[in-house]
Amino acid sequence: MTGGPLGRVVELPADAAGRERGLELAWLLRREQVLDDARAASEYLRRAGAWPAAAVGFSLGGHVVCSVAGELGLAAAVALYPGWLTGTELPLSRPEPTLERAARAPGRLVVLLGADDPIIDGAQQRAIGERLETVVYPGASHGFAADERDTFHPASAQDAWRRIEEVLDEVRRSRTD
């Protein structure tokens, strides 16, 4: 994870302590910081001839992808179990909920959710589904694609990876047309 203290890279273990520290750091992120970093990355990709571009993010990274997809004009994006999209409790979600920004993305934006996600409840899932292309996996929870977690859900993860590849292939094809 980047964006640690003084911009240093922070590596966190894939365990409860690592998730707890990651959440602490998430509350330090501000939307403008993330947008500044994303703009710099998109300018680099443009100069390198790797545009149009797509992005994929998991959990908080999925939230970031939803936040920047419209701002950067991404051709496509996939967000897996992105929490806090519908409210403004997370500083990254202010001043307007990230869902509002994501709904304005010009390219394809696919959100993949677990039906049993304790972070993204049914009401939030419905709100996201009303605004964005959404797939909800029955029996899956938060982190369903992370094989090192106890919430790993193999069937959902396999389908999610298939969908990610499909979206990325669409963007690759658009570069060669």
pLDDT over threshold 60, residue 12: yes
Closest CA to 98 of 43, 17, 1, 26: 26
- Burial of 112 per CB tally in 10 Å (0-12, 13-18, 19+): buried
Q: Which residue carries 């605004």 as its tokens?
A: 131
Q: What are the tens digits of pLDDT across the range 91-143?
A: 999 999 999 999 999 999 999 999 999 999 999 999 999 999 999 999 999 99
pLDDT over threshold 80, residue 46: yes
**pLDDT on residue 175:** 79
The DSSP code sequence of 72-139 is HT-SEEEEES-TT-S-S-SGGG-SS-HHHHHTT-SSEEEEEEETT-SSS-HHHHHHHHHHSEEEEETT
pLDDT over threshold 60, residue 68: yes
CB 107 within 8 A of CB 77: yes
Q: What percent of the chain has pLDDT over 70?
A: 95
> φ, ψ for residue 56 (rounded to 5)?
-130, 135
CB 25 within 8 A of CB 9: no
**pLDDT on residue 77:** 97
Q: Which of the two residues, 126 and 29, has the higher pLDDT score? A: 126
